[in-house]
């Protein structure tokens, strides 16, 4: 349950909340389980805030600082999280269906089991991210940075991977069927495609040119 004092402060807006964070930097705010859907939290400092199970659907989190925030099981459906900081944030089992995460920094973020279907992740930075079992079906991953990210058992079916950075990416048992704009040159830089689900034409190209990627790493 959310701390009522912290909840009252965040609902007073940007100036009051960020002053609270500046003057009491050692406090880790607890906003878990709160209904914050539809609120405007643009540029707010949510560093290390506990948002476990919080409803942030349709919320505005543009340029918000969510570094190391705990968003486990949070609902961020259709939230606007553009140019935000989610470095080392935990979003395991969070719902981000149709969320806009474009140009957001998510270095080393944990998205295990998260639902990002139809999300806009254009230019999102996810190097070293943990996306095991993540649902990215129909997501826009144009120019996304997935270097060294772990997408074991993830679903990228029908996702747009135009100009995505895939160097060292783990695609073990990943569903890539129907993925759009997938460059064979970039896919060839992945760490592994062991037991990945691939369209026949893509699999044939990988077998011919990057066969080692299909072996168990």
pLDDT < 70: residue spans in the chain:
none
- Rounded CA separation 137/57 (Å): 19
The answer to whether 149 and 126 have CB atoms below 8 angstroms apart is yes
Residues recorded for the chain: 217
What local confidence, expressed as pLDDT, does residue 216 receive? 85
What local confidence, expressed as pLDDT, does residue 217 receive? 83
The answer to whether the Cα torsion of 158, 136, 148, 45 is positive or negative is positive
What local confidence, expressed as pLDDT, does residue 214 receive? 93
Per-residue pLDDT tens for 108-155? 999 999 999 999 999 999 999 999 999 999 999 999 999 999 999 999
What local confidence, expressed as pLDDT, does residue 62 receive? 98
């Amino acid at each position: 349950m959310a701390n009522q004092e912290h909840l009252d402060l965040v609902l007073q807006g940007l100036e009051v909340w960020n002053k609270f964070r500046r003057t009491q930097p050692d406090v880790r705010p607890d906003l878990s389980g709160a209904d914050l859907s539809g609120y405007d939290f643009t540029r707010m400092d949510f560093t290390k805030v506990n948002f476990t199970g919080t409803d942030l659907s349709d919320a505005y989190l543009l340029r918000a600082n969510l570094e190391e925030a705990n968003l486990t099981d949070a609902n961020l459906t259709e939230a606007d999280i553009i140019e935000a900081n989610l470095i080392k944030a935990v979003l395991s089992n969070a719902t981000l269906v149709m969320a806009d995460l474009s140009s957001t920094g998510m270095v080393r973020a944990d998205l295990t089991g998260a639902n990002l279907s139809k999300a806009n992740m254009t230019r999102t930075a996810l190097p070293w991210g943990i996306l095991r079992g993540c649902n990215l079906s129909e997501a826009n991953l144009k120019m996304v940075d997935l270097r060294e990210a772990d997408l074991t058992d993830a679903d990228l079916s029908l996702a747009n991977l135009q100009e995505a950075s895939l160097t060292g990416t783990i695609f073990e048992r990943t569903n890539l069927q129907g993925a759009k704009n997938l460059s064979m040159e970039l896919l060839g830089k992945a760490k592994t495609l062991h037991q990945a689900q691939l369209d026949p034409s893509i699999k044939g190209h990988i077998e011919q040119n990057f066969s080692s990627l299909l072996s168990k790493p």
